[in-house]
Structure 1
C-alpha cells in the first residue's frame, strides 16, 4: 500500500510540474518525469512522421520538419511553425499545449498520447535549431 501512495504522489508531482511549466524545457521535464524515462528525440521524430492507424500523421499538417508554417490537411488553415526555436510562443502555455496534444493525438493516433510520446516529440522539436 505505501508503494501505491508513493507512486500516486510522484505522479501528481510530475503532473503538477507539467501543468505549471512556463517554458518548453520545463514542459519537457514534466512529461519526462511523468513518463519515468528519458525522452528520445529520434523516437519523437519517428512518432511525428508516422501514421498510427489513422489517416494523418503529425507531419500531415505541421510538415516533416516543422520549422516553417504548415497547413491543416482538412481545413487548409495555416499553422505556425511548431518548433520552439522558430516560433517562441510554442509550448509556453501548459493548458494550450495539453489541449493541442489531446486534440492532435486523437486525430493522429485515435487516443491521447502518453507522457513518453509527448516527451519524445517535444525533445525532437526542441532539438531543431536555426
Structure 2
C-alpha cells in the first residue's frame, strides 16, 4: 500500500471511530419516560409509584435507605450520609439532568442499590422508584 492510501485509510478509520463514538453517546441520551418504559418492559409488569416510594424510604436490612442520602423529599437537595456531599434533587421535575443519560442512570442505580439493598436492583424496583420520582411536580 502506498503512503497516500495508508494515510487515507487511517483517516477513514478515525472518522468511522469518531462517528461510532458520537452515535454511542447519542444513544445514551434518554428521557425519564424512555428509561421507565425500558425498565417496565424488562420487568414485564407495570410500575407502581406507591411501591417506589416505599422502596425509596425504607431500609432493606442495611444501614441506609435511598432517603438517607437523597432526603425524604427528593425534590430538594440531599446530603450524602457518609461524606456530607450535597446531592442535587432526584425528582426529574426539580433537576432536569436526572435520568437523562442511560449509562449514568445504570451506574448510579448499580452503586446505590448495592449500598441500600446489598445487590443490584431489579428492573421492577428501578421502574417503581422512577415512576414515583416522576409523579413529584413543582
CA–CA separation in structure 1 for the residues paired with 2:62 and 2:85: 20
What is the alpha-carbon distance in structure 1 between the residues aligned to residue 51 and residue 28 of structure 2?
25
* RMSD, matched Cα: 1.0
Q: Do residues 32 (structure 1) and 12 (structure 2) align?
A: no
Alpha-carbon separation, structure 2, partners of 1:48 and 1:21: 24
C-alpha distance in structure 1 between counterparts of 2:120 and 2:58, whole Å: 16
Show structure 1 runs of 4+ deviating over 4 A. Answer: none
What is the TM-score of this pair, normalised by structure 2?
0.79
Per-residue CA deviation, residues 37-65 of structure 1 (Å, 9 max, x unaligned), is: 00000000000000001100000000112
Call closer, same or farther: CA 1:58–1:78 in 2, change over 3 Å: same
CA distance in 2, matches of 1:21, 1:46: 28
Query: Residue in 1 aligned with 2:91?
Result: 83
Partner of 1:96: 104
Contact residue 21 and residue 27 of structure 1 kept, 8 A: no
From 103, 122, 125, the equivalent of 1:117 is: 125
Match 1:23 to one of 31, 56, 59: 31
State the 1:20 CA deviation. 5.0
The structure 2 residue matched to 1:108, chosen from 110, 113, 116, is 116
Q: Is the 8 A contact 1:44 1:117 kept in 2?
A: yes
Aligned length: 112
Structure 2 residues not aligned, in runs of 5+:
1-26
Larger radius of gyration: 2
User: TM-score scaled by structure 1?
Assistant: 0.84
